[in-house]
Amino acid sequence: MERTTTTIPQADIDRQLSFCREIAALSAARPEQPLAFVDTYGCQQNEADSERIRGYLSQMGYGFTDQEEEAQIIVLNTCAIREHAEQRVLGNLGALVHVKRRHPDQIICVCGCMAQEQHVADKIRQSFRHVDLVFGPHVLWKFPEFIHTLLTSRGRIFQIPDEAGSIAEGIPVVRQDKVKAWVSIMYGCNNFCSYCIVPYVRGRERSRKPEDILNEVRELVAEGYKDITLLGQNVNSYGKDLEEPMDFAGLLEQVNAVPGDFLIRFMTSHPKDATQKLFETMARCEKVAPVLHLPFQAGNDRVLKVMNRKHTIEQYLDKIRALRALIPDIVLTSDVIVGFPGETTPEFEDTLKVLEEVRFDALFTFIYSPRVGTPAAKMDDPMSREEKLQNFNRLVALQDSISEEKHAAYIGKTMRCLVDGESGDSRYPLSARTPGNRLVRLTGDPAVIGQFVQVKITDANKWSLFGEMA
């Protein structure tokens, strides 16, 4: 898996931008500006990919809508991490047949991780004839060429090459947010956890050059962004494929040195690569938010070994202790899978013991979902769905009580928070985030959106905090 990352030549990106200009000329000839709808499912990396798709669409002369009936182009950017996500996409895709019947010139596209799965692409080809374009993450950079072909000759396009992946710089971006921004620092994954489809659909780990990342961060800070999240399937593996290797801690230090008043977050981290050097860098860098999302997935070493996680629970707990020694107020979140094939209830209860010891601020919890093509999908799975659900409910109940207790400890404190938007709640019309990324529902004037303000926490529940500007 050690390889030199390939970069798409700038001439190829320029060719895509020339397709954008040709499509923009077609758009300008219409009586009204054409609209596009980009519907995103799944993780933050998909959100970042959708921002690049919108960037291309904007260059093509398209405006944006969230109404399927209004859109000349519909893009479903999909997730393959769990069965529920796939079924939701297929359900929504099936409903679009009626929209397309009313608007036969509409172009319907499916992209993202789910589109890269061969069995899904085959299903769309055979059963969803109204879909015009299916393409995987590796060829997102060619999106203008695909649209140009569909506009000028129609037909159907399926592009899901089985390849390691590359880096494409220079793609325009239209961001959804004016306060928070995603910055992809790397793509792909080399870990091959036995339950996970991501390495098969996202390709091998490949890192962007530090100078490209830093230039993007500088531009974002100059534009007024206050909360910047560095993204990767495993950010702690950053830099191993670069000609001049740099580790993630070194990159974090360079991003921290960019002038400006902003917060740095990152995700996701793998325990096997979370080092003491990283923890020391987090503690030393004043812009790095005191929060870490560090998935442990299961609390039993036998289960972890079958998951191919490459860490033990004691190693995980040692890292948590080391991090808390450096940053006592660190906010910790994690991922847990309940009901992995072969997991027994006593083994599941080891996961509850980890929760009791670590006392996470929040958890992202899932019942195991088999993914076609992964080793775990072929494993014996004797535990009933009902027993898995019982265990899942025990996990959620324990974490809810911990989160509620942790949030209650904020009441009465005054904290510097970033006001990031409106909440839709008339009682607490603003939403904000603590440095540790806890949601605060806030009273106050919308004029402060995009600013850091002092907030007094007045109440809390297991999901969020409530406050007023101090």
pLDDT band per the 50, 70, 90 thresholds, residue 5: confident
Q: What is the CATH number of the domain that holds 429?
A: 2.40.50.140
| Whether 329 and 426 share a structural domain | no
Cβ-in-10-Å burial (0-12, 13-18, 19+) of 352 comes to middle
Q: Is the pLDDT of residue 3 over 70?
A: no
Q: What is the CATH number of the domain that holds 53?
A: 3.40.50.12160
Comparing C-alpha atoms, which of 415, 272, 397, 275 is closest to residue 331?
A: 415
pLDDT tens for 453-467 read 999 999 999 999 999
Q: Does residue 285 lie in a domain region?
A: yes
Q: Is the pLDDT of residue 33 over 90?
A: yes
| Whether 121 and 33 share a structural domain | yes
Q: Is the pLDDT of residue 317 over 70?
A: yes
Residues 179 and 432 sit within 8 Å (Cβ to Cβ): no
| Whether 270 and 322 share a structural domain | yes
Q: Which among 159, 193, 216 is the end of a domain?
A: 159
Other CB atoms within 10 Å distance of the CB of residue 161: 11
pLDDT band per the 50, 70, 90 thresholds, residue 85: confident
Mean pLDDT taken over the chain: 95
The token pair at 34 is: 């054409």
Q: Does residue 295 lie in a domain region?
A: yes
| Whether 352 and 334 share a structural domain | yes
| Whether 91 and 234 share a structural domain | no
- What is the percent of the chain with per-residue pLDDT over 70, rounded to a whole number? 99
d(CA 323, CA 330): 8
Residue 142: domain span: 10-159
Q: Does residue 168 lie in a domain region?
A: no
pLDDT tens for 268-280 read 999 999 999 999 9
Residue 16: what pLDDT? 98
| Whether 380 and 451 share a structural domain | no
Q: Which among 408, 436, 452 is the end of a domain?
A: 408
| Whether 261 and 196 share a structural domain | yes
Q: Is the pLDDT of residue 196 over 60?
A: yes
pLDDT band per the 50, 70, 90 thresholds, residue 83: confident
The token pair at 341 is: 């094939």
pLDDT band per the 50, 70, 90 thresholds, residue 129: very high
Q: Which among 367, 386, 408 is the end of a domain?
A: 408
pLDDT band per the 50, 70, 90 thresholds, residue 425: confident
Q: What is the CATH number of the domain that holds 256?
A: 3.80.30.20
Query: Which helix (H) or strand (E) element contains residue 157?
Result: strand 157-159
| Whether 242 and 384 share a structural domain | yes
| Whether 228 and 335 share a structural domain | yes
Q: Which amino acid is at 162?
A: D
Q: Does residue 166 lie in a domain region?
A: no
Total tally of structural domains belonging to the chain: 3
| Whether 372 and 344 share a structural domain | yes
Q: Is the pLDDT of residue 72 over 60?
A: yes
